[in-house]
A = this chain, B = another copy of it.
């Protein structure tokens, strides 16, 4: 029940991908995927080929997970991680990326809301009983 490698988080120079996954909330499969597309740099390896993650790398993974949670695209996250690493960044640059994403969110919300409203109007007019008459189909049929 204890660590199979005996180093669940310290001293050896990094944790395995499974532990990095647990610590960051990004599953192992996804971590490899993020590496493969270049979102995160290639991890170091043990002699036998296992990936190793330092606390700093786990931190990046957590960052990525949070950014995905806010709906940022991989491309935007790449930019954000870059800005995060850059101590001389301007907050204006970060804000620009965030604003761009907010605009996308706003557009998507508007689109979905319009769909929902149209649909709601149609559904409200539909009896929803055994009779075949249905304003929903009537509308779709044009």
Contact = CB atoms under 8 A, between A and B. Distances in A.
Interface of A: 59, 62-63, 66-67, 69-71, 80, 83-84, 86-92, 94-95, 98-99, 101-102, 105-106, 108-109, 112-113, 115-116, 118-120, 122-123, 126-134, 136-137, 139-142
Given A95-B123, A115-B70, A126-B98, A137 B80 contact: yes
B120 A102 contact: yes
A116 B105 contact: yes
A113 B109 contact: yes
A15 B86 CA distance: 60
Query: How many monomers of this chain does the complex have?
Result: 2
A140 B71 contact: no
Given A92-B130, A105-B112, A109-B109, 13 more contacts: A63-B141, A66-B139, A70-B118, A71-B112, A71-B115, A80-B137, A91-B126, A91-B129, A92-B127, A92-B128, A95-B126, A105-B116, A109-B113
Contacts of A94: 126, 134, 136-137
